[in-house]
Structure 1
Amino acid sequence: MSGLMDQALKLYAHLPASERFHVHARASSAPLLAVASRMPSGTVADIGCGHGLLSAVMALAVPERRVLGVDLDERKVHWARQALSGLPNVTLDVGSVEELAKTQPHTLDAVVVCDVLYLLPEAKWPGFLESVRGLLKPGGRFLLKEVEGDRSWKHAKALAQEWVMVSLLGRTKASGGMVLKPRVDGVRLLRDAGFEVREVVGLGEGYTTPHLLYDAEAR
């Protein structure tokens, strides 16, 4: 694991063991460093920030970057605030992308959404993406990290894993989603929401999950 990730994980050392376990599992199972490396400087939002690990990595990597993290899970935001309290360039709040779009319309340089969309019902995806678009300045960057619906064994494993986290353990909140889409559908959804897709990058190598990153720009 890189020095940057190690530095971020140290911020969670004083949290209860159960929370530290969740954060460390997230660090080893998702390509957060690869996602963070594509984020520009300026003011950025981490939608569905959870325990704030990606927010921490982005803040540590570029100290002049301002990171706004929001999540609907009050418990996770509580622990994220405790862990990241020493980072002056991070603000964490309980809330939704729709609420943030009302207070920060067209003010952000970039938005990242990592493993959130597939937890929502498909009917809510267009509105969610339109709210993200409403946060961004013209030409602002949007990084959407999802799990690719490619019908592979990794696809099946990812669904089973999320079922355990959501339904069995209650560690992740879902709103009736758990649907994985192929990349062609993701590109179409982003274009319909007003984004120009710059690149679609597979990040699943070395992981047991078919991670997929859409790198887009607000039109």
Structure 2
Amino acid sequence: MSALLEQATALYASLPAAERFHVHARASSAPLLAVASRTPGGTVADIGCGHGLMTALLALADPRRTVRGVDPDPRKVAWARQALAGLPNVALAEGTVEETLAKEAPGAFDAAVVCDVLYLLPEEKWPGFLRTVHGLLKPGGRFLLKEVEGDGSWKHRKALAQEWVMVSLLGRTKASGGMVLKPRAEMTRLLEDAGFGVLEVVDLGRGYTTPHVLYVAESRRS
């Protein structure tokens, strides 16, 4: 584990064992550092922040950043607030991005990060969600979207089974959709339709049992 990841996970030491386990499992199973390393400075939105691990990584990596985390799960936001209370460049809000950041600060963000959120939403809401994220960003703002690729592989099927356990069986993750995973060509098209220019598609699945993929995009205004 890298020094930055150790520093971030250490913030959760006072949380109950179940919450600490969830954070450490997230740290070991997702390439969050690869996402954080591609995130620019300035004001950053972490949408669907959950327990706030990505928020913590972004805030610790660059204290000059201002990181705004938002999540609709009040339980996770409460744990995140407790863990990250000592980080002065972090602000957390409970609610959807439409209810919070889109109303409070449209066009104010240099970057937005979304990690493993879309599959939790009904598929018909994906275009609107992506347009909302686009509306948060300054012209030329960076969007980092980390999703699990629907490539039909055993990793794809394993990821769906794992998320079914977390969402439906254990109730550890809040979802309102059908846990759909898309191939990268379709995701690229959705991003372009929402007004983004896709700069890079990064395969981050190596070394993981999940087909992680990162879409690095830029906000474009017509």
Give TM class, smaller chain.
over 0.9
Which whole-Å deviations, capped at 9, do the CAs of 1:22-71 have from their partners, x for residues lacking one? 00000000000000000000000000000000000000000000000000
Match for residue 42 of structure 1? 42
Q: TM-score, normalised by structure 1?
A: 0.99
Q: TM-score, normalised by structure 2?
A: 0.98
Match for residue 163 of structure 1? 164
Which whole-Å deviations, capped at 9, do the CAs of 1:131-183 have from their partners, x for residues lacking one? 00010000000000000000000000000000000000000011023000000
Give, as a single letter, the amino acid of the residue that structure 2 aligns with 1:117: L
Distance of 2:157 and 2:178 partners within structure 1 = 15
1:103-118 correspondence runs (5 A): 103-118=104-119
Equivalences, count: 219
8 Å CA contact retained: 2:8, 2:57 = yes
8 Å CA contact retained: 2:119, 2:177 = no
Match for residue 202 of structure 1? 203
CA RMSD of aligned residues (A): 0.5
1:152-191 correspondence runs (5 A): 152-191=153-192
Match for residue 69 of structure 1? 69
Distance of 2:153 and 2:214 partners within structure 1 = 17
Distance of 1:68 and 1:177 partners within structure 2 = 27
Moved over 6 A (4+): none
Q: Secondary structure at the match of 2:98?
A: helix
Aligned-residue offset at 1:95: 1.4
Distance of 2:170 and 2:161 partners within structure 1 = 12
Distance of 1:101 and 1:186 partners within structure 2 = 22
Give, as a single letter, the amino acid of the residue that structure 2 aligns with 1:215: V
Distance of 1:123 and 1:30 partners within structure 2 = 26
Give, as a single letter, the amino acid of the residue that structure 1 aligns with 2:197: E
Distance of 2:93 and 2:139 partners within structure 1 = 25
Aligned-residue offset at 1:103: 1.1
1:145 pairs with 2:157: no
Aligned-residue offset at 1:96: 1.0
Which whole-Å deviations, capped at 9, do the CAs of 1:53-97 have from their partners, x for residues lacking one? 000000000000000000000000000000000000000110111
Unaligned residue ranges in structure 1 (runs of 5+): none
Distance of 2:177 and 2:5 partners within structure 1 = 32
Q: Secondary structure at the match of 2:93?
A: strand
Distance of 2:64 and 2:178 partners within structure 1 = 36
